[in-house]
Amino acid sequence: MADAKKGRIRAEKSQKILDAAEQVFVQFGYKGSSLQAIATVAGLPKANLLYYFPNKQQLYNALLMDIVTRWNKNFTEITEEDDPAKTLERYIYAKVEQAIQYPNASKIFATELIQGAPNLNEYLRTDVKNWLQSSCKIINRWIAQGRMAKVDPEKLFFLIWSSTQHYAASETEVLILMDKTHYQEQDIKQIHQFLCQMILTGCGLKPSR
């Protein structure tokens, strides 16, 4: 068998295990998840997991890396020349979409934060912090230029993050209270529109509709 094919098979199996791990880790957290449970979901014997990943911790780390990679795609660069209203609207849309379409990623991220971010500390102190700092600078310039109301940019991003991730992390509560069993396509638009009305107006900007 060619190396390329071997690599592909390995990648596919790894992915299958990661998918199962995601489901289980969401439900029980890191410590509460057993390899047995993950193996059962993946439809494999327990020992097979440890052939693909050296141990539980590194399986979890691989999963987190997967999630963080997807996450980073939404940390798009904001530049001074951009239109404040359009930029915020687009960013909020990306976050809502992410929360609805990949709730497990948001949930695992949220669990990490709740438990003190034992595995995300570096990521928070570097990637997230840098992105936030440069983005806040842009917001402050927009404010200085009179292009939007004076608001604390840091708290503005916290607001966008929390209000969007809520639909993932608190999915269970939201669905119960909305009398639904799952989100629908239109929910993304409605949530987006609501949040834009609130947040943009609060920033002294006009939502596009």
Question: Which residues of the chain form contacts with its own copies (CB under 8 A)?
Answer: 26-33, 107, 110-111, 113-117, 121, 124-125, 128-129, 132, 151-152, 154-156, 158-159, 161-163, 165-167, 169-174, 176-178, 190-191, 194-195, 197-199, 201-203
Q: Which does 47 bind (CB under 5 to 8 A by kind): its own copies, DNA, none?
A: DNA
Euclidean distance between CA atoms 3 and 67, whole angstroms: 27
Euclidean distance between CA atoms 61 and 18, whole angstroms: 10
Specify the residue, 87 or 165, whose C-beta has the smaller distance to its own copies.
165
- What one-letter code names the amino acid at 23? Q
CB 46, min distance to DNA, A: 6
Specify the residue, 30 or 131, whose C-beta has the smaller distance to DNA.
30
How many whole angstroms from its chain centre is CA 158? 13
Specify the residue, 29 or 204, whose C-beta has the smaller distance to DNA.
29
Length of the chain: 209
Task: Name residues whose C-beta falls within 8 Å of residue 89's C-beta, 6 or more positions apart in sequence.
Answer: 192, 196, 200, 207, 208
Binding-site ranges for DNA (CB under 7 A): 6, 9-10, 13, 33-37, 44-48, 50-52, 54-57
- What one-letter code names the amino acid at 191? I
CB 124, min distance to DNA, A: 25
Specify the residue, 52 or 64, whose C-beta has the smaller distance to its own copies.
64
| Closest CA relative to residue 18, chosen from 45, 58, 74, 73 | 58
Q: Which does 177 bind (CB under 5 to 8 A by kind): DNA, its own copies, none?
A: its own copies
CB 17, min distance to its own copies, A: 20
CB 92, min distance to its own copies, A: 12
